[in-house]
Amino acid sequence: MQNDHGAPGTWAGTLAAFSRDGVFADDFLAIYGARNWEPNAADQHAAHLFHVQLISRIATQPLNYSEGMEDRALTSIVELFKYARDINGANPDAATFEILAWYILNVHVRPFTAKWHPKSASGALHALDTSDEFRTELAGVQAALIALDGTLQLLRASAGYEIANIPLSRPNLQSIDEEMSELVHWRPMGNIKGEEGLKTLAENEQIAVGKRRSSYGIDRDLPWATGLALSGGGIRSAAFALGAIASIAKRNLLCQFDYLSTVSGGGYAGTFLTQLVGGISQDSSSRSGGAVADQSGEERLQAKIKTSQSGMLDHDTSQAVSLCRDDQPFRREEGESELLRQFRQSASFLSGSPWERMGVAMAQAYGIFMNLAVLMLFAALFAFGDFSSRRLSNPVVDHWAGVLPSVLLAVVFLAMPMIWARPSFAQRRQFWMALLAVVFLLPLVWLAIGLFHTAWHPLTAWSRAAYDALIKEIPNEGALSALLAALASVSALAGALLTKIIRARPVLLTILILVFFATLETALFNVYGMLGFPRAGVLFAGVVILLLYLWLMLDVNAISLHGYYRQKLATAFLVDKAAKPAEPMRLSDVNPELAHFPIINCAVNLPGSKNASMRGRLSDVFAFTPVATGSPVLGYEKTKNWEGRNPSLDLATAMALSGAAVSPQMGLRTTRYASFWLTVLNLRLGAWLRRTGTSKRGPGISHLFRELTATADEAGHFVNISDGGHIENLGVYELLRRRCRYIVAIDGENDPQMTFHALTNLQRLAYIDHGIVLELNLDDLRLSQAGLSRSHFHFCRILYPKGLQDADQEIGYLVYLKLSLTGNEGEFLRRYKIDEPAFPHHSTADQFFSETQFEAYRALGEHVGEKMFLPAIAGRLGQDVRIEDWFFKLGLSLLSPRPSAKRDAPAAAP
SS3 assignment, position 418: helix
Considering 522, 553, 584, which residue would you say is the last residue of a domain? Answer: 553
| Closest to 815 in 3D by CA, of 787, 774, 784, 779 | 774
Percent of the chain with pLDDT over 70: 75
Q: Is 127 domain-assigned?
A: yes
Residue 481 has pLDDT above 70, yes or no: no
Selected residue with higher pLDDT from 176 and 414: 176
pLDDT value of position 196 = 65
Secondary structure (DSSP) of 247-283: HHHHTT-GGG-SEEEEETTHHHHHHHHHHHHHTS-HH
Asked if 101 contacts 144 with a C-beta cutoff of 8 angstroms, the reply is no
pLDDT value of position 436 = 61
Give the tens place of pLDDT for each residue, 394-411. Answer: 554 444 445 555 555 555
d(CA 198, CA 173): 42
Asked if 317 contacts 311 with a C-beta cutoff of 8 angstroms, the reply is yes
pLDDT value of position 803 = 75
Name the most confidently modeled range: 42-56, 243-257, 524-538.
Answer: 243-257
d(CA 342, CA 331): 14
pLDDT value of position 772 = 95
pLDDT value of position 61 = 67
SS3 assignment, position 888: helix
Residue 135 has pLDDT above 60, yes or no: yes
pLDDT value of position 530 = 76
User: For 705-733, what is the mean pLDDT?
Assistant: 93
pLDDT value of position 24 = 85
pLDDT value of position 12 = 85
245 CB-contact burial (10 Å; exposed 0-12 / middle 13-18 / buried 19+): buried
Q: Is 288 domain-assigned?
A: no
pLDDT value of position 291 = 32
Give the tens place of pLDDT for each residue, 161-189. Answer: 555 554 444 445 668 888 899 999 999 99
pLDDT value of position 501 = 45
Asked if 752 contacts 244 with a C-beta cutoff of 8 angstroms, the reply is no
Asked if 848 contacts 572 with a C-beta cutoff of 8 angstroms, the reply is no
Q: Measuring CA to CA, how many Å separate 81 from each of 22, 46, 110, 140, 308?
A: 22, 14, 9, 18, 51
User: For 147-153, what is the mean pLDDT?
Assistant: 86
Q: Which amino acid is at 388?
A: S
Asked if 666 contacts 729 with a C-beta cutoff of 8 angstroms, the reply is no
Give the tens place of pLDDT for each residue, 263-285. Answer: 999 999 999 999 999 987 654 55
Selected residue with higher pLDDT from 156 and 153: 153
pLDDT value of position 738 = 96
Selected residue with higher pLDDT from 130 and 369: 369
pLDDT value of position 194 = 59
Torsional class of 380: left (φ above 0), alpha (ψ -120 to 50), beta (otherwise): alpha
d(CA 839, CA 236): 10
Domains held by the chain: number: 2
Residue 151 has pLDDT above 50, yes or no: yes
User: For 675-685, what is the mean pLDDT?
Assistant: 87
Give the tens place of pLDDT for each residue, 600-633. Answer: 999 999 999 988 888 788 999 999 999 999 999 9
User: Beta 687-690 vs 628-631: how paired, if at all?
Assistant: unpaired
pLDDT value of position 405 = 55
Residues contacting residue 100 through CB under 8 Å, at least 6 positions apart: 148, 151, 152, 155
Secondary structure (DSSP) of 427-467: HTHHHHHHHHHHHHHHHHHHHHHHHHHHHTTHHHHHHHHHH
Q: Is 639 domain-assigned?
A: no
Considering 519, 534, 553, which residue would you say is the last residue of a domain? Answer: 553
The CA-CA-CA angle for residues 47, 50, 55, to 5°, reads: 115
User: For 847-875, what is the mean pLDDT?
Assistant: 90
Q: Is 440 domain-assigned?
A: yes
pLDDT-based confidence at 838, cuts 50/70/90?
Answer: very high
User: For 483-491, what is the mean pLDDT?
Assistant: 52
Give the tens place of pLDDT for each residue, 828-837. Answer: 999 999 999 9
Residues contacting residue 550 through CB under 8 Å, at least 6 positions apart: 373, 374, 377, 700, 701
pLDDT value of position 34 = 86
Percent of the chain with pLDDT over 90: 39
d(CA 309, CA 295): 15
Q: Is 790 domain-assigned?
A: no
Q: Is 877 domain-assigned?
A: no
Considering 103, 136, 170, which residue would you say is the last residue of a domain? Answer: 170
Q: Considering Cα of 120, then 122, then 126, then 127, what sign does the dihedral take?
A: negative
- H-assigned helices in 393-428: 397-400, 404-414, 417-421, 423-427
Residues contacting residue 372 through CB under 8 Å, at least 6 positions apart: 488, 489, 492, 680
Q: Is 425 domain-assigned?
A: yes
Selected residue with higher pLDDT from 64 and 545: 545
Residue 780 has pLDDT above 80, yes or no: yes
Give the tens place of pLDDT for each residue, 296-318. Answer: 445 544 554 444 444 334 435 56
pLDDT value of position 310 = 40
The rounded mean pLDDT for the chain is 80
pLDDT value of position 305 = 47
Residue 145 has pLDDT above 70, yes or no: yes
**Strand (E) or helix (H) holding 287:** helix 282-291
pLDDT value of position 270 = 96
Residue 103 has pLDDT above 70, yes or no: yes
Residue 574 has pLDDT above 90, yes or no: yes
pLDDT value of position 493 = 54
Q: Is 847 domain-assigned?
A: no
Cα 416 → chain centroid: 59
The CA-CA-CA angle for residues 598, 600, 601, to 5°, reads: 140
User: For 143-170, what is the mean pLDDT?
Assistant: 69
Asked if 135 contacts 70 with a C-beta cutoff of 8 angstroms, the reply is yes
pLDDT-based confidence at 724, cuts 50/70/90?
Answer: very high
Residue 882 has pLDDT above 90, yes or no: yes
The CA-CA-CA angle for residues 861, 732, 692, to 5°, reads: 125
Asked if 748 contacts 758 with a C-beta cutoff of 8 angstroms, the reply is no
Secondary structure (DSSP) of 41-79: HHHHHHHHHHHHHHHTSTTSS---TTSS-HHHHHHHHHH
Q: Measuring CA to CA, how many Å separate 417 from each of 411, 412, 426?
A: 12, 10, 12
Residue ranges making up the domain that contains 132: 39-170
d(CA 398, CA 527): 19
